[in-house]
Amino acid sequence: MTNKMAFHKLAMSLTALNLILFVLNTFVIKFLSRYLFYLSGLYLPVILILIYLTLILYYLIKKEKINLRLLILISCTNLFCVLIYSIYMSKALMVR
């Protein structure tokens, strides 16, 4: 396996991990909360940010114009958004 193929595989794995974590997080919160529609003010912007970052990452991977630092930065940003989203939603559910 060449370095280019290994890098591409790593990039796609990180992108898939971000999406899987976000989907799992969303379903867990949806099943835990009957009041999800009250919290939709943050729900939609976070979804849009994550989709936007993932599409940028996918485009850069396809065009092969990405380096490892940028890949790690975008992936960490996605994971950070998921973490902030889950903390906010869990605290909002505790208040209810």
23-33 as b/e, with b when 16 or more CB fall inside 10 Å?
A: eebbeebeeeb
One pLDDT digit (tens) per residue for the chain, 96 residues: 567 677 667 767 766 776 676 666 666 666 655 555 545 555 656 666 677 777 777 777 777 666 667 777 767 776 777 777 767 766 665 655
The DSSP symbol for 34 reads S
Q: Write the single-letter amino acid at 36.
A: L
Cβ neighbours around 66 below 10 Å, total: 18
Task: Report yes or no: 30 and 36 within 8 Å, Cβ to Cβ.
Answer: yes
Model pTM greater than 0.75?
Answer: no
Q: Write the single-letter amino acid at 24.
A: L
Q: Domain count of the chain?
A: 1
Quick one: pLDDT at residue 1?
Answer: 54
Q: What residues make up the domain containing 71?
A: 3-95
